[in-house]
Structures are given as structure tokens and as C-alpha cells.
Amino acid sequence: MDLHILDHRLRVTSISKNGLVNFTHPLIKLIFLRNRTRCKFFSLTETPENYTVVLDEEGFKGKTHLLSFHTPTTLVPFQHVSVFMLSTYQTDFILVRHEKDLSVVISTLEEEFNIYKEVGGESVPVHCQDVSSGLQKNGKEAIQPTVHPVLIPQNQFCVMSLDPDTLPSIATTLIDVLFYSSSPKEDTQSSPNQDLDCIKFFSFSLIDGYISLVMDTEAQRQFPADLLFTSSSGELWRMVRIGGQPLGFDECGIVAQISQPLADSDISAYYISTFSFDHALVPEEDIVSVTDMLQHQRKEPATS
Amino acid sequence: MDLHILDHRLRVTSISKNGLVNFTHPLIKLIFLRNRTRCKFFSLTETPENYTVVLDEEGFKGKTHLLSFHTPTTLVPFQHVSVFMLSTYQTDFILVRHEKDLSVVISTLEEEFNIYKEVGGESVPVHCQDVSSGLQKNGKEAIQPTVHPVLIPQNQFCVMSLDPDTLPSIATTLIDVLFYSSSPKEDTQSSPNQDLDCIKFFSFSLIDGYISLVMDTEAQRQFPADLLFTSSSGELWRMVRIGGQPLGFDECGIVAQISQPLADSDISAYYISTFSFDHALVPEEDIVSVTDMLQHQRKEPATS
């Protein structure tokens, strides 16, 4: 498999639930008005706690006067390195906090991936020693990290895409879901309380012109069925949410804690990090074995 | 002709050009998300100076925590009474500032209109004495008001409507024009400066489920041609803008100053008041005679 080192320099920030109204103007521009922004990497994810925004320097520049970005206080670890994972419909992104961490990630991954870097428009193979020769490889002998609590909500999720040219067709629905879903609809009877075992989670990303959407089946019903598409029709996913309290920045191995056993069992997964939690989406038919695996891991944390 | 007294209680307010970003969230809700608001009367008009918002108590209530409404300081006069005119594609509205002014308006208009009021779901005829018997009629003997300067910009305007069900189809274009047209597009060469003799003017209203749009032909080109419709294809209007400086609240007769000569000459017009100015739209083919008429009026202000 190939892995490409990209040049994007990204910012990860959070917006509080009540604070979203103040960022409606720049966010709508980033989502819908491609000809008014140079931003090439944008992601907005709603969780019960807050919104996580990832965007590149160009997107950031365009609105420094509006968005007072926090310094990211939690990024999600990958073996010994803090990484932020963002799986989309099209591809997976691993965001590394420091330039120096790149070599650790490359060293960890080069056994399984062919790693490339864009140089003058061409993809050039990269090896660990090209990036930094002074670092020790982090192999399977990695120190066992803290085992974090996991939550497995009941909702079913879909990972979808959309032709960017049809984005205007779902604009009002997407705006409604992203910016107004917390406020009650006034002309309808109040809907039954959402199942307490369900989680509010919605993610939109627009990266290099490709759109990816992750939402549960309840949100999906609000969109026209003919515009959003999944890789295989009706493919549903369940979520494993990791981290019971805000994750400390320096905690490592949170994704690894679940990704390693999943990979060992050949279970595919999407990973989405947010400001305070990590989320893994696994195929619905595998959720029982994943649950068993996680319970086992928690009973015997020292032996994996 | 019939004239109906409506029960709407409306607020007129202005939002500064730079302040619009702060009101994007409530305004987008009022424009696009009908099922999230009880507002039945909403109008947003952009002029070079600011945005004028008219909305009913329900629309206002929904966002008191967001919109810090100004007390309207200028409403536009109608004979001896300050009124605010809002012509739409479907109908004309005359907003009266005080309940007591209603009788003056009725008394002025009852020679030409059958006036009705909604009582228990039925339209009941109204006469001046029903509203207030203590007021003297204001007839043609009205005192000649101050003659205000007029401006006749070069752009051509269209007055259009749209099926509310197709509003989502133009959402991104409308959002772009309303909320982002002041900022430059970043991926295109900067467009040639707008003709200095042209005026920035765009008006959107959503009243009792009917949509009306007033825009110049340059803005119109951004919308899909098949969704917006005019009463007769290609009908274009020119603007007469009245008031060289912010109009004082107590100034009366500003609309009358132009509406009377237009009516005398059988020239139809749309009137749109904003926070600081009045605007009359007249058919393009009549603009020469209207210009002549206004010049004549200014030369002999005491003899009309």
C-alpha cells in the first residue's frame, strides 16, 4: 500500500456548541463557496461536546479576524506520537503535530507502506533515514499505553460522498443539520427524545475538492437519497468511541489501542479524531466481535 | 382597488455592512428554514450604506439574544404620516409607525381604495371613523413637504418571484450574493470595478410564504434563469433614490413627493423604503419622463 506525505499545514480547533452561531459566516463560506476561499483542507465534525474544525493555513488566513483559534490541547496518539486521524470516504489522513514526529510515523509505517513525498510535482519514495536519522524505530515493542474507556453507541452510521457540483442541491439540508439541529423545530411537534444510547455525531469534510460525509441513519433520512452515495449500497457502520474524559495531549497509543486488534482480525475501520475523543467506525456485522475484543483487552490490559 | 389592514406588528432595523457576519446565523434561518421559525414577515434589503431588516414579532422573538435591534430612527413619510413602503412582486405594503397614524392613512386612502380589516377570519370593511373619529382628513390640501434630492443610478432592476419550494435550489447563490458579495472572490481575477453610476441594491422578502426579489441585472445573471420569474419576461426597471442624507424620522411626504406625480402620469412604480432612503422603481421606458418631472419639481418646488 502507498502512503503520501502531504504538504498541508493544518490547524485543529474546537468551537463550543453555543459558539457556533458566531462562526456561521466563515464556515458557510468554507463549505459552500469554493470560489471565495483558497482553503484546500476543511473538516467540521460535531460531537455531543463541541465542534472540531480542521483547516489549512489558507482557510485559516481568510478568517483570522473571525475565528479565535485555540491551540489544540489534545491530539490523538499513534504509538509514541500524538496524531490526529481523519478517515474520509476517499482516503485516510494522519495528522502529525510536530515535524519531528513525522520520522517516527514513517519509521513505524514503512514496513507496511510504500511512503512517498511530493517533490516538484513528482512522487519520490521516502525512507525513515531521509527524514531524520537520529530516531530509533518504534516497532511492536512499543510500551503498552493507558487503556481508555470505550463507548459503543447504538446508532448506525454511513460514510458517504457527493459530487461537489451537486453540493448546492443539499445546501439548505446540510446547513440545517450542521448549524440548527440543536434548536427545536417550531412548526412541528417536538420529536421524541433521541435514544439516550445514541450519540450526536456528524462529520463533513471538503479536501482537495472531494466531499466526505459521516452521519447516522437518522440524519441521512433528511437528505435526498439520490445524491449521496456510499461505496456499497446500504453499508452501515457502528461506532467505538474512545476516551471517557478529555484526552491529554501527551497520551499516546489511543488509536493503536483499537487499530491493532482490528487490523489483526482483518476488520476494516474508519477513524475520526475530534478535539477530545477518538472514534472508530467498524462494519455493523463485526460489532459483536469488536465488543468482545475490547472487553477482553480491558480484562487483561497487560498481555496484548 | 382593495386595501387590507394586516395584523403584523413589525420591526424595522438596520445592520451595518461589517456587522452582517454576526447575524448570518439568524438571517439564514429566517430565509431558508421555514420549519424552524414562526416568522411570517421578513425582508432584507442591501443598500450601499447598510442592510435594512423588517420582521415580525415572531421573527424577532426567535433571536432577541442575537439581534440587538435598533429603534428605527427613520421611517418614510406618507403625507403627514411617517410610513415605510415595501413593494414586493406580489403586493405593496405600507408600514405605519404608530397605531394612531393608521386612521390618517385610511382617511387619505379611502377615496381610492376599499379598505378591509380581518376580523375573525373575515374581511370587514373599515372606514376612517371606525379607527379614530377625532382626526381631520388629510386631503390634497396637504402642506408641501421638503423637496429631497434624488439620485437615478444607471443599473437596470428586475422584480422577481420564486416558488418557495425551489428556494433550496438557489440557496448557495442567494447566500453568496447576500452575505459574501462585499468580499472579493479569491480564485478569479478581480472583477472590473462596478460602474460608479451603479448602485448596490438587493432586496429579498419572504412574506406569508411568498418570495419577492429585487436585484439588478448583474446580480440576476448569477441565478439560474429558469427558476426566477418576472410578471412579463424581460421587464426592466430603473431606480429613483430619494434622500441625500439620512432621512429624519419626522420628515413626511417623501414617498408622496414622487408617488403623486407618477400616479398623475399613470406610471406604475414599486416603492422600497430602507433605513435611510426611499427607492422608487419605475419602468425603464418611463425614466426619461420621470427625470424631466423630477427636474421640473425641483425648479418649482412651491407650485405642484
User: What ipTM, to 2 d.p.?
Assistant: 0.80
Q: What pLDDT sits at residue B239?
A: 94
CB A244 within 8 A of CB A148: yes
Q: Which whole number is the average pLDDT over B174-192?
A: 71
**Contact flag A168-B167 (C-beta cutoff 8 Å):** no
What CA–CA distance (Å, rounded) separates B182 from B191? Answer: 12
The CA distance from B57 to the nearest CA of chain A, in Å, is 15
Q: What pLDDT sits at residue A170?
A: 95
The 3-state secondary structure of chain A, one letter per residue: CEEEECCCCEEEEEEECCCHHHHHHHHHHHHHCHHHCCCCEEEEEECCCEEEEEEEHHHHHCCCCCCCCCCCCCCEEECCEEEEEEECCCCEEEEECCCCHHHHHHHHHCCCCEEEEEECCEEEECCHHHHCCCCCCCCCCCCCCCCCCEECCCCCEEEEEECHHHHHHHHHHHHHHHHCCCCCCCCCCCCCCCCCCCCCCEEEEEECCEEEEEEEHHHHCCCCCCCCECCCCCCCEEEEEECCCCCCCCCCCHHHHHHHHHHHCCCCCEEEECCCCEEEEEEHHHHHHHHHHHHHHHHCCCCC
Beta pairing, strands B202-207 & B210-216: antiparallel
Q: Is the pLDDT of residue B157 over 90?
A: yes
Encode pLDDT of A188-243 as tens digits.
444 444 556 899 999 999 999 999 999 999 999 999 988 998 876 568 999 999 87
B22 Cβ under 8 Å from any chain A Cβ: yes
- Grid cell of B282 as nine digits: 419605475
**Residue A266: Cβ-neighbour burial (10 angstroms; 0-12, 13-18, 19+):** exposed
**Residue B5: Cβ-neighbour burial (10 angstroms; 0-12, 13-18, 19+):** middle
Q: Is the pLDDT of residue B65 over 60?
A: no
Which pTM value belongs to this model?
A: 0.83
Q: Which whole number is the average pLDDT over B118-139?
A: 64
Residue for grid cell 428586475 = B158
Which among A32, A36, A186 is the nearest to B185, CB-wise? A36
What CA–CA distance (Å, rounded) separates B123 from B117? Answer: 5
Q: Is the pLDDT of residue B151 over 70?
A: yes
| Distance from chain centroid for Cα A230 | 17
Q: What pLDDT sits at residue A15?
A: 92
**Contact flag A179-B25 (C-beta cutoff 8 Å):** yes
**Contact flag A173-B168 (C-beta cutoff 8 Å):** yes
What CA–CA distance (Å, rounded) separates A79 from A241? Answer: 18
What CA–CA distance (Å, rounded) separates B69 from B61? Answer: 11
Would you give the DSSP letter of residue B167? Answer: G
Contacts of A105 by beta carbon, 8 Å cutoff, 6+ apart: A78, A81, A83, A94, A96
Q: What pLDDT sits at residue A233?
A: 59
Q: What angle do CA B283, B284, B286 make, to 5 degrees?
A: 70
Q: Which residue type, as a one-letter code, is found at position A206?
A: L
The CA distance from B257 to the nearest CA of chain A, in Å, is 40
B168 Cβ under 8 Å from any chain A Cβ: yes
Q: Which residues pair with B77 in a beta bridge?
A: B82
A186 Cβ under 8 Å from any chain B Cβ: yes
The residues of chain A scoring below 70 in pLDDT are: 61-81, 128-146, 183-196, 232-234, 244-253, 300-304
Residues in chain A closer than 8 A to B66 (CB atoms): 21
Residues in chain B closer than 8 A to A183 (CB atoms): 36
Phi-psi bin for A176: left (phi > 0), alpha (psi -120 to 50), beta? alpha
What CA–CA distance (Å, rounded) separates A64 from B13? Answer: 29
A165 Cβ under 8 Å from any chain B Cβ: no
Q: How confident is the model at residue B304 (pLDDT cuts 50, 70, 90)?
A: very low
Tell me chain A's radius of gyration from C-alpha atoms.
19
Residues in chain A closer than 8 A to B169 (CB atoms): 168-169
**Contact flag B175-A172 (C-beta cutoff 8 Å):** no
A33 Cβ under 8 Å from any chain B Cβ: yes
Q: Is the pLDDT of residue B143 over 60?
A: no
The CA distance from A171 to the nearest CA of chain B, in Å, is 7
What CA–CA distance (Å, rounded) separates B292 from B304? Answer: 14
Q: What pLDDT sits at residue A77?
A: 53
Would you give the DSSP letter of residue B300? Answer: S
Residues in chain B closer than 8 A to A32 (CB atoms): 172, 175-176
Q: What pLDDT sits at residue A75?
A: 36
Q: Which residues pair with A125 in a beta bridge?
A: A116
- Number of A–B residue contacts, CB under 8 Å: 85
Residues in chain B closer than 8 A to A211 (CB atoms): none
**Contact flag A180-B32 (C-beta cutoff 8 Å):** no
- Closest Cα in chain B to A186: B36
Which among B35, B179, B185 is the nearest to A25, CB-wise? B179
Q: What pLDDT sits at residue A155?
A: 93
**B46: three-class secondary structure by DSSP:** strand
User: Which of A186, A188, A222, A227 to mutate to probe the B interface, most B CBs <10 Å?
Assistant: A186
Beta pairing, strands B41-46 & B76-78: unpaired
Which among A21, A38, A169 is the nearest to B25, CB-wise? A21
Q: Is the pLDDT of residue B5 over 50?
A: yes
Residues in chain B closer than 8 A to A34 (CB atoms): 187
Residues in chain B closer than 8 A to A40 (CB atoms): none
Q: What pLDDT sits at residue B131?
A: 52
Q: How far is CA B31 from CA A223, B34, B36, B41, B108, in A?
A: 19, 7, 10, 10, 34
Would you give the DSSP letter of residue B180? Answer: S
- Grid cell of B204 as nine digits: 429579498
Q: What pLDDT sits at residue B190?
A: 45
Q: What pLDDT sits at residue B23?
A: 92
Q: How confident is the model at residue B154 (pLDDT cuts 50, 70, 90)?
A: very high
**Contact flag A28-B24 (C-beta cutoff 8 Å):** yes
Q: Which of A65-69, B128-132, B148-152 has the highest average model confidence (pLDDT)?
A: B148-152
CB A244 within 8 A of CB A287: no
B32 Cβ under 8 Å from any chain A Cβ: yes
Q: Is the pLDDT of residue B75 over 70?
A: no
